[in-house]
Amino acid sequence: MRPFLSNADPFLRASAVAALAECATREELADLLTAPNDAERMGAWLALRHQQAKLEPAWVENALRDPSADLRLLALRHNADRVDRTHRAAVEHMLEDGQLSARLFRAALATLQVLSSNADQDYAAGKPTFSIRRPTPVELLPALVANPRLPVAIRALAVPQLALPLDAATTAALIDSLASGMDETFAREAVRTLCTAIATDALPTLRALATDTTRSPQLRADTLSALSQVSGWLDGLEVTLLGDSSAPVRLEAARALRLRPVSDEMRGALRAAMLRHPDDAAFIRVGRRVLGESSEIAPTDLERWIVFLAQGGDAHAGERVFFESSALCIGCHRVQNRGNAIGPDLSLIGRTQSRALLASAILRPSVNISPEYQGWEVQLKDGSTIFGLQLHLRGWGLQIDTLDGQNLRIRNEDIVSYGAMERSLMPDGLEHILPSEDIRNLVAYLESLR
């Protein structure tokens, strides 16, 4: 049976696990838990769970430190499911592993959250609990972010998880990290968090970062894009940066102009910059659109779109589009804890979806609606329609959870009809709102999320 545990075919692997659970004793499986082969240890763990065998604390402890990320993930789930606090220290220890993936990091945090909330309840109920109250993960996050002894990759993963509004110490730590030339990934997360939190104290540092030619063009472009999301924060910076020598920065400066009234002075600066960079095709295209001289010919049907979106695109630029409010995506989707949860979390979407599937999901959302995300609509006598995520029928009428997070109560006498929406909650026709270049960059970005 053992060789099948490492077979490439998931169905064969699953059958091997089921057969092992049937035939092997708990002791034999315990032995297999120490096998050098990742797939065999994993198979032994799954077979033990299948048998509903009692797992010795030492096995769980080892699994939480296992070299295989998949087994560590299973061990985390086990701890969370059982609210088993015995291994809390091992879970916390995992957060300090410099090689931790985003997925494991999130699973470890979620596990800690479960373990902590239970501790709180025990405490409140007067049951015996630890003598020292452990911090909950949310309290733990600012410390993770600011801890100089932790690998910077882990600290960067913690930044998007910070609760908003930020406390003063965390704001100061993030600003310091930007000013001191902190690691690029960390800096990009810090920029986005500071702008989302509208942390006014950070404004001078952010503006300095956008114009600092010693920093990377992508980081500067990210900063420009994030600043453009807060009203008044660009304050003319985009006009200055139209002439920047870095292409991504110029492009973001031009894109920022699309969203606001353009004065004659701005038009002049834009034209001058376009003359200076005649070979920068992306910049010229956006510039023409701002000037109202666009001659863009977008694909006309889905097949052509899929061909257009099949390759190319700049994932960095796509990330900026994704997080801009004008693209609407973050109003409904989450990536790494940023955004809303009306639609599916897209943090790992690139693992399961090809570019063609991503393209049709974006352009034709109503073709495939999953029941989990079924939307509801209520027609009112006053002629308006209300859309929502959940509908609860009551004797006197109904309650509906709307997309903007309200719970409305509607009385029977105001209702003409109600029912499941035939279309997706996700809007059709994004290709009419977004330039084709933005859509291609978006697809490149989503593909990179894995």
Q: Which residues bind ligand HEC (CB under 6 A)?
A: 327-329, 331-333, 342-344, 346, 349, 353, 358, 361-362, 365, 369-370, 373, 403, 424-427, 430, 442, 446
The minimum distance between CB 340 and ligand HEC, in angstroms, equals 8
* Residue that has been written with the tokens 């695109």 in this structure: 313
Is the Cβ of residue 114 or residue 430 nearer to ligand HEC in the bound state?
A: 430
Nearest residue (CB) to ligand HEC, 183 versus 377: 377
Q: How far is the CB of 312 from ligand HEC (least distance, A)?
A: 17
Q: Which is nearer to ligand HEC, 83 or 421 (CB)?
A: 421
Min dist. Cβ of residue 339 to ligand HEC (A)? 10
Tokens representing 42 are 């994993």
Distance separating alpha carbons of residues 362 and 196, to the nearest angstrom? 24
CB nearer to ligand HEC: give 35 or 403: 403
Nearer to ligand HEC, 274 or 425 (CB): 425
- Plot region of 405 (φ>0 → left; ψ -120 to 50 → alpha; else → beta): left
Instruction: Report the residue number whose CB is nearest to ligand HEC.
Output: 343
Q: How far apart are CA 374 and CA 322, in angstroms?
A: 23
Q: Cα–Cα–Cα angle for 162, 168, 171, nearest 5°? A: 55
Give 156-218 as a DSSP string.
HHHGGGSPSSPPHHHHHHHHHHHHTT--HHHHHHHHHHHHHTT-GGGHHHHHHHHH-TTS-HH
Least distance between ligand HEC and beta carbon 194 (Å): 23
Distance CA 305, CA 313 (A): 13
CB of 85 to ligand HEC, least distance (A): 34
Contact 335, 345 (CB under 8 A): yes
Per the rule left: phi > 0, alpha: psi between -120 and 50, beta: everything else, 399 is beta
| Shortest separation between residue 8's beta carbon and ligand HEC, angstroms | 25
How near is the Cβ of 362 to ligand HEC at its closest, in Å?
A: 5
Name which of 262 and 328 has its Cβ closer to ligand HEC. Answer: 328
Cα dihedral across residues 21, 26, 31, 36: positive or negative: positive
Instruction: Indicate the residue among 217 and 375 with the shorter CB distance to ligand HEC.
Output: 375
